[in-house]
Structures are given as structure tokens and as C-alpha cells.
Amino acid sequence: MKNLKTLNNNVLVWLKISVFLLALIPLTKLAINIYLDNLGANPIEKITHVTGYWTLTFLLITLTITPLRRLTGWLWLVRLRRLLGLFAFFYACLHFSTYLVLDQFFDWASIAKDIVKRPYITVGFSAFVLLIPLAITSNDRSIKLIGGKRWLLLQRLIYPITIGGVVHFWWLVKKDITEPLIFAGLLSLLLVIRLFYVYTKSK
Amino acid sequence: MTTYKLPPIQSSEITPRELFYNRRRFMQLAAGASLTALFSDSVLAGEQLANVKKSTDSLADELTPYKDVTTYNNFYEFGTDKEDPSKNAGSLKTRPWTITVEGEVNKPKVFDIDELLKLAPLEERIYRLRCVEAWSMVIPWIGFPLAELLKQVEPTGNAKFIEFISLHDPEQMPGQKSATLNWPYKEGLRIDEAMHPLTLLTVGLYGEVLPNQNGAPIRIVVPWKYGFKSAKSIVKIRLVEKQPVSSWMEAGPNEYGFYSNVNPAVDHARWSQAKERRLGDFLKRPTLMFNGYGDQVAQLYAGMDLSKNF
């Protein structure tokens, strides 16, 4: 196990490339299904759901890295976190663009009304906006520029963002909340683990 | 008997001929139907319905393709995904089937489904279906006005409302194994809404027996209300004095009202109802008051505050 704690750079590069390609699978599948007209009677709705689902999934995967690193001692895991977080942002962009272009087709009045009047869109849109500074500062230069401590503080926005994303999903579902419940359960688990670490550290 | 003139629909929305007459599918169905006819005289999903008076409206919205009508369904008895009902509804047994009509009537009766099919001449009605989720379809239903059935049982003066109760059998309807809604599915109308000639007791679509996922063997279609008002797979019709409480009213009283008339001015608690996406269209279209049936039904609600009675 000892040799798993650190990886040499060569292996890490290959690992990153693999993760990058794996993370593109949902998009590839979606593109193929669009091309084959395989998305059912309401493809726009389907594209919205798929991109939203993967945004939440990548947010949760990103939040899994730190506890997993502590659990396993695999320090290199943290080197994948940025990539995964940026994929969360990437799918969020696709999700938002789907809403903007395919669903609303730039109907700004209707979009403004949605954001103000519909709580699930208010919270989803806010989460997306908050994600933008995180994505922009996801590089070494920004860390140097902002300073490590303040950068870390900024990146903590990931917590309200992910909570907002899950609430967004929960509030839009008409009746069957099974899926939002699963996301909420996993997120709670990840948050509780963090509380546990904070608690044991302070002791 | 009152004849009823359907509201005209824009000529720009006429169905391309080849869409309407999908010859290949028709031939396959016809062959299948005649084969089955050799062995049994019961009517099953997919078979052609005989002696249907075709819709005579020369102008019609473009019909939603058969495939979309039968694979994109909200029928939580078979699961909550749109594709679930078409995948799971095979377990529904539509024969034997009876519909009990009871309550405030002089002649309560249990109708056998095959008897009901012969109660009045079947006619085709091309209706818009507007879902509360802001999408819509255009479907050529087959049935006869619910009023024809109600006449047979003679509602009393106390019959102010009507309640529809759908089948409750988790063995046949796997979605009922989870408590998504309070089963059985219940819906209701005011008696004048139920007697309205547009309210269709429906047994088929696209020329054939109602597919299971669309509410076989018998359902109601109320075209000026959101889709969930049109109860499917009905086993009981009750005429009552007090306004019934529907399953959706129980599930979300501030989101689903008793009337649930299509109304672009009254938003759902969580989303706008001003526009809808007709399946197959890219751009959304404005939703019409009473789903475009205002000339026929608006007088039913004269003087009512429709934002309170949503």
C-alpha cells in the first residue's frame, strides 16, 4: 500500500488523462443520443436532466476526494480534485446553456421572471453564478495572486453551491423525490464526515 | 341529441398526410388484428376499433406522432419516468373489466367494458392535451361523450359532482408499490363539466384500442383541463353531492386545485404556465386560455375567480 500513497508524475499524468476521458463519457453518450434522435419525445427536457444530473454528480465526486484521501492516505487524489471540479462547472455550463438556448431561447423576460419567482430556479441559478469564481480561480496563478488562505476560503463556496444544487433538484421534482433524496443523502454523508474531522482535530 | 362543433384550428397546423397514415404500421396492425379476431372476440390494445366516426374537422393541429403519444406518459401507477408506463404497463389486464357507476343516481349499474363500448357510437376527437408540466400533445382520441353514460344512470338532483376512481392493484400496477400518490388515483369534476359534450369517455386513440400506458381500457379526457384531471383505467364512477378531493389535491393542496383549468395567467406554485412546448417543436408557444376551448367552456366559470379556484 505504501507505494500507492505517492505516485510518480508520469503515472499521475496518465491518471489525469484517464479521468478526463472518463468524465467526457456522459457528454459523448448524450451527443450520440442526440444524433440518433434517441432522447424520446421531449429531447430538450432530457438534455436538461442529463446535464443537471452530471453537474450534481461531479460536485459530489469532487467533495469525495478529501475524505477519501484521509481514509486511504493516497495523497495524489487531491491532484485530481481540480479537474473534477472543473468538470462539474463544465456540465453546469451545459445545463445552463440548455436552459438559456434550448428551453427558453433567450427569452430574457421569461428568464428574469423565472429567476425571481421560482425558488428552484433562484437557488439553481445562484449556485451556478457562485461556481464561476471558483472555476476562474482554479489555477496555480490565482492561488499565488489571491494567497493560499483566502483562496481556500473562496473555494469553500463549494459547500453552499452543492447544497443549492441538491435543493434545486429537490424543489423542481413534481412528486417522486427518490433521486434528489439520494443526492441529499450522499451530500449529508460527505458533510458529516467533514464535521467529524473538524471535531477530532479540535480535540 | 346535440351535435357538437369542434373549434377550428389553424390550417398551418395540419398534419402531413404521411404522418397520419403510416401505412406500414397500419398494415401490420390490421394483419395482427384480423389474426387475433380468429381466436377471440375480445378487444385488446393495438387492435383497430371498428365503426368509428372519423373526425370531420378539415382543420387540425398537427398530430403528435403515435410513438410519442404512447412512450411519453405520466401514469404514476407504472412509474414516474415518462418512459416507465410504456415499459411496465404490459402487466395491466384489461379484460375482464367492469365500471361501477353509483352514488346519487336513480339507476346505479355495473357496466362490463364490452357493453360500454356499444353504449353509444364511437367517434374520433382530435384534442390538445396540455400537461401541468408545460408540455403538450395533439391526440386523435376515440370515445363518446361521458354524458351518454350518465344519462343511462339518471343522476339525481343531489349529484353536484362526479368522482373517478382508477384501478388499485399493485400486482398489475407496480408503481402502486410505492406511495408516490394516495392510491387509488382519484379525480373529479363538477357535474356540468362532466356533462359537457367535450368531456370524452375514451377507449381508443389513433384508430385503435387504447394502449395500456394511455389508460386502458377506459379513461376520461377533459381537454380544457391539465392532463392529470383526465383519470385513466377507471373502475368506478361516483356521483356525489360534495366536491371530491383528488389524489393530486391530497399530494399538494397549494399546487393542484380541484378545477385545474388550463390557464396561462395562473402559474403553478413552482413554475410558469404562460407557455408550453408542443412535443416536437423547438420554440415554446403561448398557452391558450382553457387550452383553446374557451368558446365552449368559459361560460361554465362565469363570475368565478379563477386564480382562487385554480
B52's CB contacts (< 8 A; 6+ apart) are: B122, B123, B124, B142, B204, B207
Residue A84 pLDDT: 97
Instruction: Decide: A87 and A22 in contact? Cβ < 8 Å.
Output: no
Chain A contact for B39 (CB, 8 A cutoff): no
The 10 Å CB-count burial string (b at 16+, else e) for A13-25 is eebeeeeeeebee
β-pairing, B123-130 vs B219-221, is unpaired
- pLDDT at position B27: 45
Which amino acid is it at A8?
A: N
Question: Does the pLDDT at position B91 exceed 90?
Answer: yes
Interface residue A179 vs chain B (CB under 8 A): no
Rounded-to-integer distance, Cα B210 and Cα B99, Å:
16
> Do B272 and A174 lie within an 8 Å CB cutoff?
no
Place of cell 443526492: A183
**With 50 as the cut, is the pLDDT of residue B1 above it?**
no
Q: How many other β-carbons are positioned within 10 Å of the β-carbon of residue A48?
A: 19
Amino acid type, B142: I
C-alpha cell at position B133: 408540466
Largest Cα separation within chain A, whole Å, is: 58
Q: Do B82 and A40 touch (CB under 8 A)?
A: yes
Residues in chain A: 203
Per-residue confidence (pLDDT) for residue A27, from 0 to 100: 98
Q: Which three cell numbers stand for residue A50?
A: 442529463
Distance from CA of A87 to the nearest CA of B (A): 27
ipTM: 0.85
Residues from chain B that touch A110, judged by Cβ atoms under 8 A, are 272, 274-275
B82:A175 CB<8 A: no
Whole-number Å distance between alpha carbons of A123 and A116:
10
Give me the total of CB pairs closer than 8 Å, taking one residue from chain A and one from chain B: 54
- The confidence score (pLDDT) of residue B220 equals 98
DSSP B237: E
Q: B2-21, pLDDT tens digit by residue?
A: 555 566 565 555 555 445 44
- CA R_g for chain B: 19
At residue B3, the pLDDT reads: 53
Q: Structurally, how many domains does chain A consist of?
A: 1
Residues 6+ apart with CB under 8 A from B212: B45, B85, B89, B90, B92, B94
Name the minimum distance, in Å, from the CA of A11 to any CA of chain B. 42
Which cell goes with B235?
Answer: 373502475
Complete domains list, chain B, with CATH: 11-301 (3.90.420.10)
B283 near A CB under 8 A: yes
Chain B, nearest residue to A170 by Cα: B270
Q: What is the pLDDT of residue A2?
A: 53
Write the Ramachandran bin of A185: left for phi over 0, alpha for psi from -120 to 50, otherwise beta.
Answer: alpha
Q: What is the pLDDT of residues B65-82, one digit of tens each?
A: 999 999 999 999 999 999
**Cell numbers describing residue B29:** 396492425
Q: Which domain holds residue A193?
A: 2-202
Give, to the nearest 10 degrees, the angle between helix A178-202 and helix A43-72: 20
Residues with Cβ < 8 Å from A112, sequence gap 6 or more?
A: none
User: Are B60 and B9 within 8 A, CB to CB?
Assistant: yes
The single residue listed with the C-alpha cell 356533462 is B195
Please judge whether B271 and A119 are an interchain contact, meaning their C-beta atoms are less than 8 angstroms apart: no
Q: Per-residue pLDDT tens, chain A, 203 aa: give them.
A: 456 777 888 899 999 999 999 999 999 999 999 999 999 999 999 999 999 999 999 999 999 999 999 999 999 999 999 999 999 999 999 999 999 999 999 999 999 999 999 999 999 999 999 999 999 999 999 999 999 999 999 999 999 999 999 999 999 998 899 999 999 999 999 999 999 988 888 76
CB B285 within 8 A of CB B278: yes
**Using CA atoms, how far apart are residues B252 and A36, in angstroms rounded to an integer?**
38
Q: Distance between CA A193 and CA B287 in Å, rounded?
A: 48
